[in-house]
């Protein structure tokens, strides 16, 4: 059975964010991830992790004004300086929280910017970020995201992401493969995983439709989890889904795998 990390930005919403670490531990999660730590002091999060003896496996670089609809700006030529500053901020948190990998959101294609120019900026920014991350022993991940949930998102396919990784040419840049997003954009889940597992640094899961728990939709998660075991995947699988009800009431899919 893969190792699962609770996504605390989406799960355990019944309690305040800093209380979700304890809720996840009580539900059997010894690893967690979340979108962003920046609204909190790193010490406060570190104390929660230590108290619950949990590993933090992932969070995102700053992504702009989330409530206003921003979803990153790494492909925006007008915000290169802001992006470089955000890398430093993320790495400071990463060191304090002892996390080994960060996700860099590409962002939506900016108005009046061609896809070609956005790609050029994204690659240059990734070269900057991977060089800075390497000095701290951190891996950087990029994730294709479906354009139904985030219309206009620049990075939306696994082949597109892999070609960008090739062009950046950094050994600490890997693919973050969200099974839900890629089911919606392209399918071919098992074939893609088999072909590119060595280049995938992290998986995330949710079912489709609804982005709820595995087992609530069309994706054959028992098959895919067995495949990850067969292929020898050693990393974590982030549970980045919206619980259909109370979080703990929807964990039967995970408990069934342990039987």
Average pLDDT, the chain: 97
| Confidence at 194, pLDDT banded by 50, 70, 90 | very high
Arithmetic mean of pLDDT, 72-81 = 98
Mark whether 143 is an active-site residue: yes
Beta carbons of 162 and 199 less than 8 angstroms apart = yes
Arithmetic mean of pLDDT, 72-80 = 98
Work out the angle at residue 44's Cα, subtended by the Cα atoms of residues 40 and 50, and round it to the nearest 5 degrees: 135
| Confidence at 238, pLDDT banded by 50, 70, 90 | very high
Which residues lie closer than 8 Å to 216 by C-beta, 6 or more apart? 207, 210, 244
Arithmetic mean of pLDDT, 156-184 = 98
Sorted by where each begins, the domain ranges of the chain are 3-257
What does the pLDDT read at residue 258?
A: 76
Q: Lowest mean pLDDT: which of 69-73, 191-195, 252-256?
A: 252-256
Arithmetic mean of pLDDT, 42-53 = 98
Arithmetic mean of pLDDT, 175-196 = 98
What does the pLDDT read at residue 255?
A: 87
Give the single-character DSSP code of 193. Answer: H
- In the chain, the percentage of residues whose pLDDT exceeds 70 is 100
What does the pLDDT read at residue 49?
A: 98
Architecture of domain 3-257: Alpha-Beta Barrel (3.20)
**Helices in the chain by DSSP H: which ranges?**
20-26, 42-52, 80-97, 115-135, 158-168, 179-185, 189-196, 221-231, 252-257
Is pLDDT above 80 for 259? Answer: no
Arithmetic mean of pLDDT, 220-243 = 97
What does pTM read for this prediction? 0.97
Arithmetic mean of pLDDT, 212-241 = 97
Structure tokens at 73: 């700006």
Largest CA distance in the chain: 54
Q: Which residue among 14, 70, 96, 143 is the active-site one?
A: 143
Half-sphere exposure of 169 (CA within 13 A, CB side): 2
């Amino acid at each position: 059975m893969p190792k699962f990390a609770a996504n605390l930005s989406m799960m355990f919403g019944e309690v305040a964010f800093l209380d979700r670490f304890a809720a996840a531990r009580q539900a059997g999660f010894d690893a967690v991830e979340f979108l962003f730590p920046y609204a909190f002091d790193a010490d406060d999060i570190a104390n929660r992790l230590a108290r619950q003896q949990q590993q933090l496996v992932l969070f995102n670089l700053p992504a702009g004004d989330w409530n206003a609809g921003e979803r990153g700006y790494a492909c925006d030529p007008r915000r290169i300086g802001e992006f470089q500053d955000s890398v430093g901020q993320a790495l400071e948190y990463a060191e304090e929280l002892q996390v080994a990998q960060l996700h860099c959101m590409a962002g939506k294609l900016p108005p009046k910017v061609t896809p070609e120019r956005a790609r050029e900026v994204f690659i240059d920014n990734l070269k900057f970020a991977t060089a800075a991350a390497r000095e701290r022993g951190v891996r950087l991940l990029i994730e294709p995201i479906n354009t139904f949930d985030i219309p206009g998102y620049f990075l939306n396919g696994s082949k597109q992401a892999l070609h960008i990784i090739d062009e950046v040419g950094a050994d600490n840049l890997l693919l973050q493969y969200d099974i839900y997003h890629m089911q919606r954009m392209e399918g071919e889940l098992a074939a893609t995983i088999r072909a590119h597992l060595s280049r995938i640094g992290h998986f995330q899961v949710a079912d489709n439709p609804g982005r709820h728990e595995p087992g609530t939709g069309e994706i054959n998660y028992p098959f895919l989890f067995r495949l990850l075991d067969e292929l020898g995947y050693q990393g974590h699988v982030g549970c980045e889904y919206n619980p259909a009800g109370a979080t703990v009431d929807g964990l039967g899919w995970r408990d069934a795998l342990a039987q």
